[in-house]
């Protein structure tokens, strides 16, 4: 262990040599007591691995020489653990300045100020060469045992600090490596591996932002003409090269602030701001012309060509990005059916379903008053004993005119209008009235992104639940990643308020959006719900199984419940149990049921021997 000694008196150096060179084994108990005092308590004091430390002393008469020695030690890695410094050292710099410069170079060294008389108070020296817990004092004349005890204790402390610094440095390296891996994973998840262009997931994310914006924009969907012939005659490598070349041209041709993505196969999608349909069509035709050229692919001449479907969206007219993409796709189909090599702008006559959607919207506005809506309840059960901990409330609409209308049809329609708020209030009221009959389970209610962004959402939900006389802890609010990640700051504040009031919070369809570990930790969540698509794919795809296991481990690490949705087989049930999933939901355990059957099951308290249930048709995306 290296010791630095700075004193202008030769006699003092000789004393130090006798202290460190002529000692025997030493007094272990005295050293331990000294170390305990320095570290603050007995438990914190390190046990010396060997009482007789081999001290290597470096002696200097002047402070400047000592400062140079510190510089050399840092360069060579042979650092000093302790420095004994005399305060009064004329000529040259004094002990206070020496200590200040040494501390500036090496923040980890322990300084021992040795003096019989000083022009400086301990506070002066601490301010110059702090922190105070790394500065110690010995008065002249000193006792040999006092110097030995101080040097031994501080050497052990320096060694312990060094180990801690190394551990922290290792953790920082691991943190940086994890961040880099996460960045690579996010990039891979959102980019096409062939062209490195954004993929379908990234495009939907950008399209979602565009429909919420205040600017008119166009979405163009392009499909290459006769691409299959290239693959069949020249091979898939040639086809891949053509895809890359077309993608690069589109990137060059798209206007500023535009966005190009490869959706898959030979299909591309573009977003770009426009002033209206004329400008949108002109830009789309320019891009179409740019790719309708003769390409040289691996020495072969390939005539390019494409068809384009175009959808122009004015601000606040369409709220669903999927609907924008669907309309652009309809226009693309129209272009391909009308000779290819052309641009077709979407027209509502292309889509009979639009008229049907408007009819549905009109019928939905009267459905509540006419008693056409009802709630059904699907149990959420614990992993071990299959005990029933709660029920998810699912809405159903049986229309005399249209029959059973899927929630996947009427919920997006309600979301595009103010009907979603009226519909949501009805669901809350019905759910809490049913909940009051259960012996202790909670009810879980889905809230759409537009509901979640409602002004005074927290107060509105609290008022309706409180008026029903229901404890907030028995009411779980289910929201999707889309709802909270549109405005992370507002979402975090809203969820925090809801948790303060006692509500349970579940993140639905987890794994399908843009969650990061950092954001998940920020949000006040009780539960993560694994999307049914991953559960369904567990037995066929390693990726799905890996995602399920990762979500379960993440939930357990953060102290959250993890509910696996869509459990439909005994194999899935057992696999999820073995993986440690805390709760389960799906047709294998129980179908969505009427309030009366839910009450009977709630009173029973558990699911018996599970028998596969017949899959209910037309039940939408939940359950």
Do residue 162 and residue 214 come from a single domain?
no
Residue 174 lies in a domain: no
Tokens 């020495």 appear where? Answer: 299
Lowest mean pLDDT of 84-98, 120-134, 573-587, name the range.
120-134
Q: Could you tell me whether strands 343-345 and 306-313 are parallel, antiparallel, or unpaired per DSSP bridges?
A: parallel
Confidence of residue 312 (pLDDT cuts 50, 70, 90): very high
Percent of the chain with pLDDT over 90: 48
Extract the tokens encoding 327.
């309309």
pLDDT at 518: 57
pLDDT at 38: 45
Do residue 461 and residue 367 come from a single domain?
yes
Write down the mean pLDDT value for the chain: 85
Do residue 35 and residue 156 come from a single domain?
yes
DSSP string covering 80-145: -SEEEEES---SSS-HHHHHHHHHHH-TT-EEEEEESS-SS-HHHHHHHH--GGGEEEEESSPPHH
Q: Long-range contact list for 453-457, CB < 8 A, 24+ apart?
A: 453/483, 453/486, 453/487, 453/490, 454/421, 457/494
Q: What is the dihedral of CA 507, 509, 514, 520, to 10 degrees?
A: 20
Average pLDDT over residues 188-211: 91
Average pLDDT over residues 321-349: 89
- Residue-wise over 47-61: b if at least 16 C-beta within 10 A, else e? ebeeeebebebbbbb
Average pLDDT over residues 586-596: 95
Do residue 478 and residue 463 come from a single domain?
yes
pLDDT at 577: 93
Handedness of CA 221, 226, 228, 230 (dihedral sign): negative
Residue-range definition of the domain harbouring residue 319: 200-350
Cα–Cα dist 134/620, whole Å: 67
pLDDT at 232: 81
Confidence of residue 340 (pLDDT cuts 50, 70, 90): confident
Do residue 442 and residue 294 come from a single domain?
no
CB 78 within 8 A of CB 1: no
φ, ψ for residue 405 (rounded to 5)?
A: -100, 125
Pick from 524, 486, 523, 529: which is nearest to 621 by CA? 529
Q: Does residue 613 register a pLDDT over 90?
A: no
Q: Does residue 620 register a pLDDT over 50?
A: no
Do residue 551 and residue 579 come from a single domain?
yes
Q: Does residue 443 register a pLDDT over 80?
A: yes
Handedness of CA 590, 593, 598, 604 (dihedral sign): negative
Burial degree of 364 (CB within 10 A; 0-12, 13-18, 19+): buried
Q: Which of 146, 166, 186 is the last residue of a domain?
A: 166
DSSP state of 265: T
Task: Tell me the CATH number at 228.
Answer: 3.30.70.270
Task: Tell me the CATH number at 105.
Answer: 3.40.50.2300
Residue 183 lies in a domain: no
Residue 280 lies in a domain: yes
Number of domains composing the chain = 3
Confidence of residue 377 (pLDDT cuts 50, 70, 90): very high
Percent of the chain with pLDDT over 70: 90
Q: Does residue 535 register a pLDDT over 50?
A: yes
Confidence of residue 231 (pLDDT cuts 50, 70, 90): confident
Do residue 526 and residue 592 come from a single domain?
yes
pLDDT at 117: 63
Do residue 421 and residue 499 come from a single domain?
yes
Residue 320 lies in a domain: yes
CB 227 within 8 A of CB 284: no
Confidence of residue 269 (pLDDT cuts 50, 70, 90): very high
Cα–Cα dist 58/70, whole Å: 10
Do residue 417 and residue 461 come from a single domain?
yes
DSSP string covering 520-571: HHHS--SEEEE-HHHHHHTTT-HHHHHHHHHHHHHHHHTT-EEEE----SHH
Residue 137 lies in a domain: yes
Q: Does residue 617 register a pLDDT over 50?
A: no
Average pLDDT over residues 224-233: 85
Q: Which of 285, 320, 350 is the last residue of a domain?
A: 350
pLDDT at 481: 77
pLDDT at 76: 92
Confidence of residue 187 (pLDDT cuts 50, 70, 90): confident
Q: Does residue 71 register a pLDDT over 90?
A: yes
Helix (H) or strand (E) holding 377: strand 373-382
Lowest mean pLDDT of 128-132, 186-190, 416-420, 608-612, name the range.
608-612
pLDDT at 123: 76
Q: Which of 288, 320, 350 is the last residue of a domain?
A: 350
Average pLDDT over residues 442-463: 92
Q: Does residue 32 register a pLDDT over 60?
A: no
pLDDT at 251: 94
Q: Tens digits of per-residue pLDDT, 105-135?
A: 999 999 998 876 666 677 777 787 778 778 8
pLDDT at 185: 80
Say how many C-beta atoms besides its own lie within 10 A of residue 381's C-beta: 23
pLDDT at 609: 58
Task: Tell me the CATH number at 511.
Answer: 3.20.20.450
Residue 186 lies in a domain: no
DSSP state of 620: T
Say how many C-beta atoms besides its own lie within 10 A of residue 162's C-beta: 13
DSSP string covering 432-476: HHHHTTSSS-EEEEE--HHHHTSTTHHHHHHHHHHHTT--GGGEE
Radius of gyration, alpha carbons of the chain = 36
Pick from 237, 282, 243: which is nearest to 264 by CA? 243
Cα–Cα dist 187/198, whole Å: 9
Do residue 298 and residue 445 come from a single domain?
no
Cα–Cα dist 52/471, whole Å: 67
H, E, C per residue of 277-301? HHHHHHHHHHHHHHHCCEEEECCEE
CB 477 within 8 A of CB 505: yes
Extract the tokens encoding 407.
């929630």
Q: Does residue 34 register a pLDDT over 70?
A: no
Q: Does residue 223 register a pLDDT over 70?
A: yes
Q: Does residue 42 register a pLDDT over 70?
A: no
Q: Tens digits of per-residue pLDDT, 234-263?
A: 888 999 999 999 999 999 999 989 999 999
Strand arrangement, sheet containing 56-60: 56-60, 2-6, 82-86, 110-115, 135-139
Residue 26 lies in a domain: yes
Residue 11 lies in a domain: yes
Confidence of residue 189 (pLDDT cuts 50, 70, 90): confident
Q: Does residue 20 register a pLDDT over 60?
A: yes
Do residue 345 and residue 365 come from a single domain?
no
Helix (H) or strand (E) holding 224: strand 217-224
Do residue 52 and residue 99 come from a single domain?
yes
pLDDT at 614: 39
Q: Could you tell me whether strands 343-345 and 217-224 are parallel, antiparallel, or unpaired per DSSP bridges?
A: unpaired
Helix, strand, coil percentages (3-state) for the chain, rounded to 5, are: 50, 20, 30
């Amino acid at each position: 262990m290296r010791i630095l000694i700075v004193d202008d008196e030769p006699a003092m150096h000789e004393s130090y040599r006798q202290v460190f060179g002529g000692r025997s084994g030493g007094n272990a108990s005295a050293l331990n007591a000294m170390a305990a005092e320095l570290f603050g308590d007995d438990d914190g004091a390190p046990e010396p691995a060997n009482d007789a430390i081999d001290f290597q002393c470096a002696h200097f008469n002047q402070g400047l020489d000592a400062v140079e020695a510190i510089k050399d030690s840092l360069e060579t890695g042979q650092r000093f653990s302790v420095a004994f410094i005399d305060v009064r050292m004329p000529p040259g710099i004094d002990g206070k300045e020496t200590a200040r410069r040494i501390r500036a170079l090496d923040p980890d060294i322990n300084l021992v100020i040795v003096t019989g008389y000083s022009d400086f108070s301990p506070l002066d020296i601490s301010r110059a060469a702090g922190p105070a817990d790394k500065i110690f004092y010995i008065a002249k004349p000193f006792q040999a045992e006092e110097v030995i005890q101080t040097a031994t204790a501080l050497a052990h402390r320096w060694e312990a600090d060094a180990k801690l610094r190394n551990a922290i440095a290792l953790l920082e390296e691991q943190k940086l490596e994890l961040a880099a891996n996460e960045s690579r994973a996010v990039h891979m998840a959102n980019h096409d591996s062939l062209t490195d262009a954004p993929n379908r997931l990234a495009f939907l994310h950008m399209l979602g932002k565009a429909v919420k914006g205040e600017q008119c924009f166009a979405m163009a969907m392009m499909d290459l003409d006769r691409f299959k012939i290239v693959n069949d005659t020249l091979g898939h490598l040639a086809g891949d090269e053509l895809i890359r070349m077309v993608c690069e041209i589109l990137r060059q041709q798209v206007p500023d602030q535009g966005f190009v993505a490869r959706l898959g196969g030979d299909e591309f999608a573009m977003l770009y701001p426009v002033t209206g349909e004329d400008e949108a069509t002109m830009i789309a035709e320019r891009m179409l012309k740019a790719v309708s050229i003769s390409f040289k692919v691996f020495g072969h001449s390939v005539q390019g060509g494409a068809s384009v479907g175009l959808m122009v969206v004015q601000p606040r007219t369409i709220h669903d990005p999927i609907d924008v993409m669907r309309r652009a796709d309809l226009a693309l189909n129209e272009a391909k059916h009308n000779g290819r090599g052309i641009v077709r702008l979407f027209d509502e006559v292309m889509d009979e379903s639009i008229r049907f959607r408007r009819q549905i919207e009109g019928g939905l506005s009267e459905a509540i008053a006419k008693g056409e809506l009802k709630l059904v309840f699907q149990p959420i059960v614990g992993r071990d004993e299959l005990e029933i901990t709660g029920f998810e409330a699912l809405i159903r609409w049986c229309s005399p005119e249209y029959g059973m209308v899927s929630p996947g049809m009427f919920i997006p329609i309600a979301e595009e209008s103010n009907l979603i708020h009226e519909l949501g209030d009805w669901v809350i009221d019905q759910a809490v009235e049913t909940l009051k009959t259960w012996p202790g389970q909670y009810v879980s209610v889905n809230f759409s992104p537009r509901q979640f962004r409602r002004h005074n959402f927290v107060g509105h939900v609290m008022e309706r639940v409180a008026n029903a006389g229901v404890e907030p802890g028995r009411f779980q609010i289910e929201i999707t990643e889309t709802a909270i990640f549109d405005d992370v700051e507002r979402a975090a504040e809203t969820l925090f308020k809801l948790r303060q009031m006692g509500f349970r919070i579940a993140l639905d369809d987890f794994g399908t959006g843009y969650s990061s570990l950092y954001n998940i930790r920020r949000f006040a969540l009780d539960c993560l719900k694994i999307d049914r698509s991953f559960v369904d794919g567990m037995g066929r795809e390693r990726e799905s199984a890996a995602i399920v296991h990762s979500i379960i481990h993440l939930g357990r690490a953060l102290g959250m419940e993890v509910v696996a949705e869509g459990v439909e087989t005994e194999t899935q049930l057992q696999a999820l149990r073995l993986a440690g999933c805390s709760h389960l939901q799906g047709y294998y355990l129980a179908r969505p049921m009427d309030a009366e059957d839910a009450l009977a099951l709630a009173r029973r308290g558990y699911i018996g021997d599970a028998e596969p249930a017949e899959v209910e048709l037309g039940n939408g995306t939940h359950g």
